[in-house]
Structure 1
Amino acid sequence: MSTRTRNSLLLLLSASLAQAAPQPHIPRKEGIQWGACKHETGGLPVECATLAVPLDYTNSSSDETLDLALIKYPAQNGPSKGSIMLNFGGPGQDGLNSMIAYAPIQGPITGGDHDLVSWDPRGTGQTLRFQCFEPEELGQTYLAGLPDASDVSPGKIWAEATIVAKSCGERLKDTGDLVGMAFAARDMMQIVDALGEDGMLRYWGISGGTALGSTAAALFPDRIDKVILDGVMNVHEYYHKSGETNIVESVDATFEGFIAACFENPKKCPIASLYGSADEALSAVEKLFEKLKYEPIPVFAEGSPPFLIDYSIVNSLIYSTLYRPSDYQFLSIALAALLAGDIDALVKILGSSSGVSAIPVQAEAVMGIRCGDKIPRADKLSDLDELEEEFHAMSKWFPGFARGAYVYACAQWPFEAKERYEGDFNVKTSNPILFIGNTYDPVTPLVSAQNMSAGFEGSVVLQHNGFGHLSIVQPSNCTNEIIAQYFADGTLPKEGTVCEPNVPLFGNDEELPTGGEEPEATATQEVPAPTDDAYEETPAPTAGAE
């Protein structure tokens, strides 16, 4: 393990004191000069800017700076009552492009009385971009499969992870340790200071953004005004485990709930026409998974080169589509065609989708941030045997999705972030935090929100009794009203509050075609695909226009 960040006892003591001591608000003399954005804005009334921040917060003798790329979506209901910082997850998702997709959704939910501000966090977009390979160097695809695809897959993926980790280490040896949650949190507070407001943090972090929000609240507990963490990561595991088994704690219940909803809405879900019960359908999926491990399906589609449908592709497609309930009907149609062995219908269905509309996550940024923040390392694959068993014990259907690429690469990562929060997240913030967790979230389970809330004194967990990843993907007027009220005056819901979504699964009015017609995907994607995220190795196709 590299000892670059621990080369002296003094540095350790200094970092420890920095985490424990209150961080004073020191207004920056220069403000932010907002102006026109240089990238595509989709017609939104956004403004952009740059802000110089210290390149290395651990080196007080250096005057080197880094320019952060900023974006602002002004308050839509009159003069702003202050700024709300947004972070969109991953970690690895940029801020500028993500703001274009999310601001029209999150802005009205906040009440429309605040400016929304975001930035490209270190390693993403325009800010110290973490890129290990040039496009022309990617002749071979690494880390695309799942470790459960065959008996030899774990060894193959481990070896590929070795190539990726060493390549990143060689190319980014001078800057790779300058990305990570702690520095991103300090960057965010630099922005807060430069805004020239009250110096307090108002923040809505989604998915991977909850790891940033938790870290910022722990580092700057006296500067917390109103902070919402929605789709909560278990940050204890993020920092202290080679792999976050908590990720898959609810995915089986989410998938089985999706199948159960099919049989409650048979006119809208073709899987129900193939089997007599949800249990029979699940048994068929289990057999399909096992078959695809050893008998991938060759596909010859007109207008495209031949390709294989294998276990990794199907398992990843299902998992990633579980993020978005608006795509569940598309998933039901595609999965029914696959279960029925109708590959022509499957190709037609996939081809009828509008393609990947998810905001792109730069996979190397995901690894650069996540792996540098992780404390454990491993010398060989067998060092992870116990962890592998934990993943299989946690999930029957998707034990490999959160495991392979990032776990194996992070275990071999050649450098570590110059600063990492190493505290216990037992914190009293100046104002209490609102955590939000979905009952059936395939990647950030409700238990993670409860786990993190337990350490933040006075915080409350709002249970959004819906499916998918984040509260906004299956909207609820109840949840939205609580968010708006919290940002308005800090009012928290009562402990134990549960909000129901406005529309249940398959609650649209569309039914499947009859008369032998080939079903086409009809779901629409109203909310941007939350590509956190870090766990979404293959973004799911979305049906219809975004």
Structure 2
Amino acid sequence: MDMNRDKIERPYVPYEPLATVLPVVKPATSRSRKVKILLVLLTAAATFGLNHCWRGLDTDLPSSTPSTRADPPEFDWNALEPAKTIRWTSCYSGQKCARLLLPLDYGTPDGPTTAIALRMLPATDKVNYKGPMLINPGGPGGSGTDLVARAGKNISAIVGPSFDILGFDPRGIGASTPSASCFESDSQRQLWELQEDHRLLNASDGSVDIARARQTLLGQRCEQKIGGEWGIARFMSTPDVARDMLEISQQLGHEKLQYWGFSYGSILGQYFSAIYPDKVGRVIIDGVYDGHNYRGALWNSNLADTDAVIDSFFTFCHQAGPEKCALYDSTPAKIRARFFAVLHAVEAQPVSIPNAEPPVLVTRKVLQSQLFRATYKPLAQFVVVADTVYALESGNQTALAALAPKIVPPTECKCADLEPWLASNEAFSPIACGDGDEIVYDREAYAKYYENLVASSQLAGPLWANSYLKCAEWRVRPKWRWTGPLGAKNTSHPLLLVSPRYDPVCPLSDAQAVQDRYAGSGLLIQESVGHCTLAAPSLCTAKHIRAYMENGTLPKAGTVCGVDELPFVGAVQDVRALSVEDTELLEAMKGLSAAVPTFGFGGL
């Protein structure tokens, strides 16, 4: 991966402060010390630590930017007749597709149905064939069929050629029908999104009232469009999807599930393993959110490590030097001060980019959102944040115009609608809010909730705080909601949990809590920053995943993997010293790092 592909050419000049209000630079905290320790561990482990190891998904919200493609789609899902058994049809150059009819309500097997879209990259090693491995990219709301398109070959290269890689679109999502869409078209959805308040959420001003009113209106519209006795919104719960996964596996001749789920996909893996502990084959959950916090509709454990990821931006920028980081300065603290100076400056006076097409206005919310999104994918996006801040700081309008699509996407009006299976959806609320405890909005309780989130992360808290409002204003309740244990004293095979050291929305502490609930499960920690282990390529991690899938081998307790590439810095070892097999594995992991789940604020 070329970390400098968007690099702005410039000579290095020692920074001279602008006439802006500078924030007070925080003294070294336990979190900043964590980042310094992490940097040492990352560098040392990546350089030397592979000797003890064997060794997301670009899913930025299913895109709300419609396509202008006039040609027929590569594959027309609507033309594929659904059936009650899996009937594969050739599709997408060597892959197989099907639409499987399953009951909307498993308690009413002869009632209405949902057509679940399946897309499979077949195993190439038929002699040692081990069956299908289902995948889920997160969300909730992510398309598994799309994940096969973007990452299927790399996933196959990691788990081994004896597995089919099978992506499915959960109920209401992607090519599965009926769709959880509350709008008539994606264009209509975009027009609604354009009405979003330009202010960050703040419990002390009217921004919460506006945000809540929008969620109330959207909830009412969704209740009309996808609610009702047999509306899809009542039948999208995670236990429903877990039951679908079991049916898919069994129809393909496998009594036990093989699965790799990312982000919200970790919730789906937890539910499946709790409801069907005797049906667990190989289950990997990556980027782990605490199922108890999720089911409580709390969304308040997520930001425990967000600031550690943000602080790593300043640390890695400094380590990389002026040739690789536009915002380089003599210490990480000075880089941090410069970032916050620009952030405060655009808060006081938003910056216009008149030469962008269309023109763009950079506000504090815009800049803060860009940084938070970047914490999901530091390898790819930290450099963009640095370039953006440097261009704002220096008033470089040419650079800002070029960067505009990465600052305020979308920056181009495309009014031709996507094929239905590529459009956005409103799946988050029927799944996440339906799975969760019912919430009744209370102004004082929300103010306290907001205060606690901001205490966890000053920058991410105001963005994440909308999750609570979504569920507080959602009224459609699922037909089947799992209220049993979210854990298992015994599963037919141990789960494998994998987690970065610092994940911006699924902290390691959540993974550790979940591991304790599933007896015998293993936890692999990767010394990285970003969302899911895929955010940073690690040969060590890839080898452990391969060993688990092929042989059922768990990493030894306490195993920690180093990484092979760092934000800004780039590669940390000479790949020429690797074997052909290891090189292929590492390249597959690098390919996956571009597919990290980034569902944004109020989604995983």
The TM-score range, normalised by the shorter chain, is 0.7 to 0.9
- The alignment status of 1:184 with 2:246, answered yes or no, reads no
d(CA) in 2 for partners of 1:231, 1:526? 14
Aligned residue for 2:183?
Answer: 133
d(CA) in 2 for partners of 1:463, 1:143? 38
d(CA) in 1 for partners of 2:202, 2:485? 33
d(CA) in 1 for partners of 2:262, 2:443? 32
Give 1:297 deviation, angstroms. Answer: 1.9
Q: Secondary structure at the match of 2:260?
A: strand
CA contact (8 A) 1:239 1:375 kept: yes
d(CA) in 2 for partners of 1:534, 1:207? 12
Aligned residue for 1:227?
Answer: 283
Listed one character per residue, the Cα deviations across residues 22-53 of structure 1 (whole Å, up to 9, x for unaligned) are: xxxxxxx975221123xxx3x4x210012121
Give 1:536 deviation, angstroms. Answer: 6.9
- The alignment status of 1:422 with 2:458, answered yes or no, reads no
Give 1:350 deviation, angstroms. Answer: 3.8
Task: Return 5+ residue gaps in structure 1 as ranges.
Answer: 1-28, 511-523, 540-546
CA contact (8 A) 1:442 1:469 kept: yes
Structure 2 residue identity aligned to 1:535: F
CA contact (8 A) 1:94 1:124 kept: yes
d(CA) in 1 for partners of 2:197, 2:167? 30
Listed one character per residue, the Cα deviations across residues 442-489 of structure 1 (whole Å, up to 9, x for unaligned) are: 122212211111110011110011122122231111100000000111
Moved more, 187-196 or 133-142: 133-142
Distance 1:143 1:409, change over 3 A: farther
Distance 1:334 1:272, change over 3 A: closer
- The alignment status of 1:530 with 2:596, answered yes or no, reads yes
Q: Secondary structure at the match of 1:253?
A: helix
Q: 2:302 aligns with which of 205, 226, 247?
A: 247
CA contact (8 A) 1:95 1:120 kept: yes
Q: 1:263 aligns with which of 313, 318, 331?
A: 318
Aligned residue for 1:413?
Answer: 474
Q: Secondary structure at the match of 2:462?
A: coil
CA contact (8 A) 1:213 1:229 kept: yes
Aligned residue for 1:51?
Answer: 100
Q: 2:431 aligns with which of 350, 369, 378?
A: 369
CA contact (8 A) 1:93 1:362 kept: no
Give aligned-pair identity as a percent.
Answer: 27
Cα RMSD (Å) of the superposition?
A: 2.8
Structure 1 residue identity aligned to 2:121: Y
**Taking structure 1 as the reference length, what is the TM-score of the superposition?**
0.82
Aligned residue for 1:516?
Answer: none
Aligned residue for 1:313?
Answer: 366
Q: 1:481 aligns with which of 536, 543, 550?
A: 543
Give 1:311 deviation, angstroms. Answer: 1.7
Q: 2:293 aligns with which of 210, 233, 237?
A: 237
Give 1:183 deviation, angstroms. Answer: 0.6
Instruction: Within 5 Å, give how 1:343-492 maps onto structure 2.
Output: 343-350=397-404, 362-404=424-466, 406-427=467-488, 428-492=490-554
Aligned residue for 2:566?
Answer: 504
d(CA) in 2 for partners of 1:418, 1:64? 13
Distance 1:206 1:181, change over 3 A: same
Q: 1:71 aligns with which of 91, 97, 119?
A: 119
Aligned residue for 1:121?
Answer: 170
How many matched pairs?
A: 485
d(CA) in 2 for partners of 1:161, 1:307? 26
d(CA) in 2 for partners of 1:150, 1:306? 31
Task: Return 5+ residue gaps in structure 2 as ranges.
Answer: 1-82, 411-420, 573-589
Q: 2:391 aligns with which of 320, 337, 341?
A: 337
Moved more, 501-510 or 461-470: 501-510
Give 1:258 deviation, angstroms. Answer: 1.6
d(CA) in 2 for partners of 1:122, 1:208? 15
CA contact (8 A) 1:207 1:532 kept: no
Q: 1:213 aligns with which of 269, 283, 288?
A: 269
Distance 1:342 1:382, change over 3 A: farther
**Taking structure 2 as the reference length, what is the TM-score of the superposition?**
0.75
